[in-house]
Amino acid sequence: MKIAVLGTGEVGRRIAGKLVELGHQVTLGSRTAQNPAAAEWAAGSGGAHGTFAQAAADAELVVNATGGLVSLAALTAAGEEHLSGKVVIDVANPLDFSGGFPPKVVQTEGLSLAEQIQRAFPQARVVKTLNTMNNAVMVEPGLVPGHHTVFLSGDDEQAKTVVAGLLQEIGWRPDQITDLGALHTARATEQLLPLWLHVYGTQGEVPFNFAIASA
């Protein structure tokens, strides 16, 4: 599959690298075609790099791994015409650290970032997932032993099926994937991030994740 990963930070590079390992054609997108981090990643991984628009243009699926407060600008730069009809996986969280710790989750008009993306790009098929763990666990769920959970939120059932399939390629078992329902449920998973950061403060670098345990 041709996949665009937008965002050259640690999250974007980690996801893009995993997808290349799985045999996908991956282009890492950034604001400029000469982004040093993207060029270094491409040279070392066998993937490609380019601007947000170049990455998204030929992609069959787009991953938003940009910083949550700049995601709408990044996707606008990618171009509405390059997102229309495509599954857009949103893994970002709109965290504002300007007021200190814990950060404020910025949900404009009470909407999750995923909902804001869907509203801005109504022809895209937005699915929220992987935003409740660190990037190492995102692509290597086996780092956390036992049962733990990855959430899905989205209005398009077919798009969620595609994303669930990709999650299973990465290594998530079907019983670990919890479909929360419509895209508005992403409001809740984004609000988990301040709690995640507090837990991180007690656990340090030890991989961990949330788990839904039921009888």
Q: Give pLDDT tens digits for 70-120.
A: 999 999 999 999 999 999 999 999 999 888 888 889 999 999 999 999 999
Amino acid at 53: A
The predicted structure's pLDDT at residue 205: 86
The predicted structure's pLDDT at residue 100: 86
pLDDT-based confidence at residue 42 (cuts at 50, 70, 90): very high
The average confidence (pLDDT) of the chain is: 96
The predicted structure's pLDDT at residue 48: 97
Q: Which CATH architecture has domain 2-203?
A: 3-Layer(aba) Sandwich (3.40)
Model confidence at 191: pLDDT above 90: yes
pTM, full prediction? 0.96
Say which residue the tokens 């970032």 belong to: 113
What's the rounded Cα separation, in Å, for the pair 194 and 172? 24
The predicted structure's pLDDT at residue 103: 87
What's the rounded Cα separation, in Å, for the pair 138 and 179? 16
What's the rounded Cα separation, in Å, for the pair 182 and 121? 17
pLDDT-based confidence at residue 2 (cuts at 50, 70, 90): very high
Domain ranges (residues) in the chain: 2-203
Say which residue the tokens 């109504």 belong to: 122
Q: Is the model more confident about 204 or about 11?
A: 11
Nearest in space to 5 (alpha carbons), one of 77, 53, 50, 64: 64
- Of the listed ranges 63-67, 76-80, 186-190, 204-208, the least confidently predicted one is 204-208
Model confidence at 212: pLDDT above 90: yes
